Amino acid sequence: MFKSQYLQKVYSGVEARNPGEKEFLQAVREVLESLEPVVAADPKFEQNGVLERLVEPERQIFFRVSWVDDNGNVQVNRGYRVQFNSAIGPYKGGLRLHPSVNASVIKFLGFEQIFKNSLTGLPIGGGKGGSDFDPKGKSDGEVMRFCQSFMTELSKHIGADTDVPAGDIGTGAREIGYMYGWYKRLRNEFTGVLTGKGLTYGGSLARTEATGYGLCYYTEEMLNCMKQDSFKGKTVVISGSGNVAIYATEKATQLGGKVVALSDSNGYIYDKNGINLDVVKQIKEVERGRIKEYVNRVSGAEYHEGCSGIWTIKCDIALPCATQNELDEASAKALIANGVIAVAEGANMPSTPEAVEAFQKAGVLFGPAKAANAGGVATSALEMSQNSMRYSWTFDEVDAKLHDIMVNIFHNSYNASKKYGMEGNLVAGANIAGFEKVAEAMIAQGISY
């Protein structure tokens, strides 16, 4: 139940209109709960119908994606692009390729992207897309034919000033390359319509590293300001072993932490000596293999089946970087019992609401995804800037901008939490700080749709 009748009415409307979409409802509920004091302080949000507009995507495109596999069989997947909110810039957000993708998943991701993108301080609206296609086990030719078919429809709805997709789970440099090539062929134009491109055709230096690096910059600032502490000498557990997890491991190590565990959807590895990242990169980035393989190459390392056991490893800092709802209340309690001091989310919505509550009650520093993983999309926006200028910045220039953006996101969220009497609640702070700019822009632009 919400205290505000207005918020209760908005949430009930979302429930009625999106039945059974549990991830989407979870994401909306959390944001609306954070906004209680904001709507109570100023009637303009209700008068302008800001929240009922915010929870309804501006446009949703669901489409058939047919392609032919290596055996000559026709395969059919479903494609999605949800253009959620364009109040502060062109729709911006990744494309997820994973068998678990459905409307609820894409809508939760698109909804969260609105606030995350606003927090970056850069002019980008919120959107997300993807497909239930599973790139695992597919040949390069199959992935290419899928990407081309997917882009044939998607190209009708995107553009450098309209909607700029990027990577997410299952969509990395290979997939972005195939999609970009096909867009260019269809449109005969070389523009910044996708980000996360390869460095030879308009990609930004440091975009590959950005989400994981940004997560660590944010976490370092949170530790520094709220506990006069840092990564130095800390034991770190990171879930996942994809793009975000790998570069979070790299930066956490550079900052003096020791990362002792990584995972995939089958199980996790524990290496008490600290993860050898070169071995992980070879297995995951070059061979597209499973994390289990690590124990065959590094002596003393252990592999355990099942992914949630990773949260029973004793650590000071936990960075969930795999997927939504991967860290539940029992896992949170295990981390707390083992003395965790900070948790920051590299994945989108990896902690269940009960887990978040447990961390906050126990006084664990908690950095929510919208703030902590915003470095990826922020650097995507820097890629858009470079494409528009037909110019490129050096790695250090992009990395320095990323660092500043993450530090600002922490402080803006922290200050918002203070302003509304919830000092240190970075979930509420991020939601409020992200909301304020979008709401102002929506009100200023009138009620057009």
Question: What residue type is assigned to position 77 of the chain?
Answer: N
State how far the Cα of 305 lies from the Cα of 313, in Å rounded to an integer: 14
Between CA 95 and CA 101, with CA 100 as vertex, the angle to 5 degrees is 35
Written as six digits, the tokens of 195 are 């980000």
Residues 204-223 that bind ligand 2IT (CB under 6 A): none
| Residue (98 or 107) nearer to ligand NDP, CB | 98
CA dihedral 128, 133, 138, 141 (to 10 degrees): -70
Considering only 307, 341, 372, 439, the residue that binds ligand NDP (CB under 6 A) is 307
Considering only 34, 195, 239, 431, the residue that binds ligand 2IT (CB under 6 A) is 195
Judge whether 433 and 119 are in contact, CB under 8 Å: yes
State how far the Cα of 296 lies from the Cα of 312, in Å rounded to an integer: 23
Q: Count the residues of the shown chain that bind ligand NDP, applying the rule CB under 6 A.
A: 27
Asked if 7 touches ligand 2IT (CB under 6 A), the answer is no
Asked if 322 touches ligand NDP (CB under 6 A), the answer is yes
Question: How far apart are CB 167 and ligand NDP at their closest, in Å?
Answer: 5
Burial class (CB in 10 A: 0-12, 13-18, 19+), 136: exposed
Asked if 168 touches ligand 2IT (CB under 6 A), the answer is yes
| Three-state secondary structure of 105-154 | HHHHHHHHHHHHHHHCCCCCEEEEEEECCCCCCCCHHHHHHHHHHHHHHH
Contacting range for ligand 2IT; rule: CB under 6 A; set: 76-84, 86-94, 322-330, 425-433 = 86-94
| Residue (119 or 275) nearer to ligand 2IT, CB | 119
Question: What residue type is assigned to position 208 of the chain?
Answer: T
Considering only 57, 94, 192, 434, the residue that binds ligand 2IT (CB under 6 A) is 94
| Residue (166 or 432) nearer to ligand 2IT, CB | 166
Asked if 264 touches ligand NDP (CB under 6 A), the answer is yes
Considering only 92, 107, 145, 197, the residue that binds ligand 2IT (CB under 6 A) is 92
Judge whether 377 and 121 are in contact, CB under 8 Å: no
Q: Is 128 designated active site? A: yes
Considering only 348, 387, 413, 417, the residue that binds ligand 2IT (CB under 6 A) is 348
Question: Which residues have C-beta within 8 Å of that of residue 371, sequence separation ≥ 6?
Answer: 116, 119, 218, 409, 410, 413, 426, 429, 430
The binder of 79, among ligand NDP, ligand 2IT, none, by C-beta within 5 to 8 A per type, is: none
Radius of gyration of the chain (CA): 21
> What stretch of H or E contains 7?
helix 5-17
Burial class (CB in 10 A: 0-12, 13-18, 19+), 282: middle
Q: Contact letters (x/-) for ligand NDP, 360-399, by CB under 6 A?
A: -------------x--x-----------------------
Asked if 241 touches ligand NDP (CB under 6 A), the answer is yes
| Residue (135 or 376) nearer to ligand 2IT, CB | 376
| Residue (89 or 93) nearer to ligand 2IT, CB | 93
Considering only 25, 54, 319, 377, the residue that binds ligand 2IT (CB under 6 A) is 377
State how far the Cα of 228 lies from the Cα of 230, in Å rounded to an integer: 7
State how far the Cα of 379 lies from the Cα of 392, in Å rounded to an integer: 12
The binder of 323, among ligand 2IT, ligand NDP, none, by C-beta within 5 to 8 A per type, is: ligand NDP
Considering only 23, 30, 168, 383, the residue that binds ligand NDP (CB under 6 A) is 168
Between strands 163-166 and 91-97, the pairing is parallel
Catalytic one of 92, 107, 116, 128? 128
Binding-site ranges for ligand 2IT (CB under 6 A) = 92-94, 116, 166, 168, 195, 348, 376-377, 380
Task: List contacts with ligand NDP (CB under 6 A).
Answer: 98, 100, 167-170, 172, 211, 240-245, 264-266, 307, 321-323, 326, 346-348, 373, 376
Active site amino acids: 128
